[in-house]
Structure formats: structure tokens, C-alpha cells
Amino acid sequence: MQHIFLPLLLICSLLLAQPAVHLSSQERAYLQEKKEITMCVDPDWEPFEVIENGKHVGIAADLVALAAARAGVKIKLVETKTWQETLSLSKAKKCDILSFVNQTPEREAWLIFTKPILSDPNILITREEHPFIANLHGVDHESVVLPAGTAILERFSKDFPNLKMISVVSESDAMRMVSEKKADMTVRSLIVAAYVIKKEGWFNLKISGQPQGYENHLRIGVLKENTLLRAILDKGIATMTPIERETIINKHTGLTIQEGIRYETVLQYLVFLLLGVFFFMWRYYVLKQHSAKLLKLSITDKLTGLYNRVKIDEVLQEEQKRVFRYKEYASSVMILDIDFFKAVNDTFGHLKGDEVLQQLTQIMRDNLRQTDIIGRWGGEEFIVILPNTSLEEAHKVAQKLRITIAEKMKPLTVSVGLGAFLAHETTDAMLQRIDAALYYCKKHGRNQVTLASMI
């Protein structure tokens, strides 16, 4: 039983090792009048914090309790079942503080924040076969799954429009979707990722990079009007030492430091370990470059550099799954065909025809959105997948593109067939509808956009 009681004894000794902080008469009067401070927490964020049998448990629980005890603050837990419920209660001022949060512009609308209690880097988690990610801005059309209402989801949605954001309820849901190939990656705290991967046995996951500038600086969020409370809590936080933080983290993550080992020795060991990890990741990255080039050749069209039919078929299947899974999700597809393209080849030769195809490719890249996926469907036919786009919105995009092409490639024009994914329709059936719409364009004057639903 010694290994169970040792962490408790250690926490008690840490509490006794530091005296209560000095509070001003105004701060003491505030606490005396307030009696107790109500606190909302994330009920499902292991190992940082959870609610178990009505009690706040985890790294955040111990850190907040330590700071509060030093500052003489009595805290009462307000129980919630989800993080969304926690945020709602906080906005409604049903709790004085949020226990363990990142400071974001959205949350600054109703909260002020203490100094950081704990800092922890965020890392990219993918399946083991995914290549190393050096720069997220260079990753297109991949999906990132993140818990709803989190600071990282708020920031990533704004900073990386090239990525597709998927929100879920919990940390474990996000990791599970990556493990089951339902999303390409997630972004999680290093401490949380290491703990959850070990606990759930998701050993087909790995660290694929670290986005710079997205570290977690976790603080206590305080209702805006309670400036005195923030000052009091900051005094408690200021007394906490790195060793105390490390001890609490070790207690909840299963890491132990044997008695008699100097912390300087442990730090040196960790430095060498990290150097070894970074060297391995660098070698892994170099070796994967060759594989990445081969992969690119297998999924792109040599002439235009666009996705080929093999890759487009794969993207179509993924979009169909999203439409089936999410009732409010819409996605559209258009197929473009260059009018009278055969005349170009017959009159000017195939080299000129190739230049025309490359010119059209560049116009589409310049005038379509970053989220749109372009492919060469065959010959002079091109396909554009418009994720998260209704048929009405897609029609505006298609008309604008058709007009731009007619202006910049005069006298050449394009005919466009346009349709949307239906939840219970196969991709082949959808493509047949769009092909029929394209054929209708060709038969009735060309240089126009026809909706599959109109024929």
C-alpha cells in the first residue's frame, strides 16, 4: 500500500512546506464575504482533470488545490457532464472560475486569466504510416479532429483554412477517430497524448510533428468582475515550484523518480533522450521524402500536376462518407469539359493542346478556393470537388469560374455539369447524374452550367 499513500503524503508535505501567502486587508475581506469560490472544470480530460464520484481529480485538481490552499481560498466544485456544459455555466456566471484553460480571444469576452499554472507543448498525432509534418501550411485536404469548444480548435480553424476541421465531444473520441482512420490527425497536449495512448493501447498512433507557437499555457479563468480573486490566486500560484509541479504530474501519469536521484541527472537524461528522438525523427523524415515523391507520382496527373482519377476516386469516397455521417454536411461536384477541344489538337497539334490544358489548370487554381479539390478526370475533362458547399453555393462558384475561363482563354469556353452528394446515393450514381448534366450542356449550346437536378 506504500505506493498508494506516498503521493498523498508528498502533496501534504508540499502544502506544509510553503506558508500561506500574504493577503491585503481588501483581499481578506473579499474572501470572508465570499465564503467559497465556485469552480467549473472539464469533466473528461485525463490526466489533467476528471470528475469522479463528485470529486475533482487529476493534475489540474492538485495544482489548483495547492495554489488555493496557499492563498486561503475555499473552492466548491460545480459538477458538469461535458466541457460544453462547463463553458455554458461559466458564460452564465454560475461558477467563479474555470480550473485549467488556455487564454483565447473568445474566452476573454467573459474571463480574465491568472498567470500560467502549467505549460505543455501541443503535438500532432497521426497514424504510424503518416509522414512527418514539418509545416501544416503545406498540408492540403487533410482532416484534423479536435474536441469542440477547445482553444486549439478555435485557433486552428482560423490559422489553417487548408485543413478540414472535425469537432467531437472528448479527447478520447478525437484519438479514436485517428486510430480508426476516420480523421488524418489530431492536435493534443504532449502529457494528454502520452497518457491516453498508453491507457487505451492506441499503439498505431505516433507523434508526427510539433506546431510552433501552439503551446498550452494553462491558467485559471476568472470571471471578469472578480479582479481581486485573480490577484489572490496569482499569489498562490507564485509560491509553486517546478519540483512541485513535476511531482504532481508524475503522480497522475505513472512516472516516478527514484529516491536519491538528483533532478539535474534526470534533466540530463531527458535532454539526451530528446536528442535521440529528434535525430530519429530527422532520419525518418529524410527516408520518407523518397516515398512521398513516389506517392505523389502515383496520385497526380503528369501533364497538369492535378490529382489523377485514382486519387479523386478516393476523395469522392471520403466526401460521400461525410455526407452520410453528418446530416447537415453538404458537398458538391462539378465536371468541366473544354468545348471543341478536338479542333485545337487537329488545327494546332497536341503540343498546343497540352498548353491549353495547363493554362486551364492554372486558371482553376487561381480562381477556386483553397478548400476545393481539383483533378483531371480524363482528356479535356476536369473535376472539382467542393467540400462543405451546398449546391446553391457551388453554382455561384461554377458560374464565376466559367465566365473567367471564357474571358482569359477566348475563344475557348467550357461546359459544366454540377451536382451534389446525396446521403444514400453511391458516388457512381452521382457522377452519372453530373455526366448527364454535362452532356445536356454540350447538346444545348455549350459554355454554360447545368445542374444535375434540372434535367
pLDDT value at residue 5: 40
Q: What is the 3-state secondary structure (H, E, C) of the chain?
A: CHHHHHHHHHHHHHHHHCCCCCCCHHHHHHHHHHCCEEEECCCEECCCEEEECCEEECHHHHHHHHHHHHHCCCEEEECCCCHHHHHHHHHCCCCCEEEEECCCCCHHHCEEECCCCEEECEEEEEECCCCCCCCHHHCCCCEEEEECCCHHHHHHHHHCCCCEEEEECCHHHHHHHHHCCCCCEEEEEHHHHHHHHHHHCCCCEEEEECCCCCCEEEEEEEECCCHHHHHHHHHHHHCCCHHHHHHHHHHHHCCCCCCCCCHHHHHHHHHHHHHHHHHHHHHHHHHHHHHHHHHHHHHECCCCCCECHHHHHHHHHHHHHHHHHCCCCCCEEEEEEECCHHHHHHHHCHHHHHHHHHHHHHHHHHHCCCCCEEEEEECCEEEEEECCCCHHHHHHHHHHHHHHHHHHCCCCCEEEEEEECCCCCCHHHHHHHHHHHHHHHHHCCCCCEEEHHHC
What are the residue ranges in the chain where pLDDT is below 70? 1-20, 254-273, 276, 279-280, 283, 286-297, 454-455
Beta bridge partners of 383: 335, 375
Between CA 88 and CA 61 the distance in angstroms is: 20
Contact between 128 and 205 under an 8 Å Cβ cutoff? The reply is: yes
The answer, as to whether pTM is greater than 0.75, is no
Q: Are strands 381-386 and 373-378 parallel, antiparallel or unpaired?
A: antiparallel
pLDDT tens across 100-152, in order? 999 989 999 999 999 999 988 888 999 989 998 888 888 888 999 998 888 88
Q: How far is CA 352 from CA 343, 363, 383, 408, in A?
A: 11, 17, 22, 16
299 grid coordinates: 496520385
- Rounded Cα distance between 407 and 400, Å, is 11
- Looking at residue 17, its pLDDT comes to 46
Instruction: Output the pLDDT for position 272.
Output: 64
> What integer pLDDT is reported at residue 202 of this predicted model?
80
Q: Which amino acid is at 283?
A: R
State how far the Cα of 15 lies from the Cα of 247, in Å rounded to an integer.
13
> What phi and psi, each to the nearest 5 degrees, are found at residue 146?
-145, 150
Report residue 402 CA to chain centroid gap: 34
Give the pLDDT of residue 269.
Answer: 60
Domains defined for the chain, CATH in brackets = 2-119+217-253 (3.40.190.10), 122-209 (3.40.190.10), 309-454 (3.30.70.270)
CA 79 to chain centre: 27
Q: CA-to-CA distance for 416 and 162, rounded, in angstroms?
A: 25
> What are the cell numbers at 180?
480508426
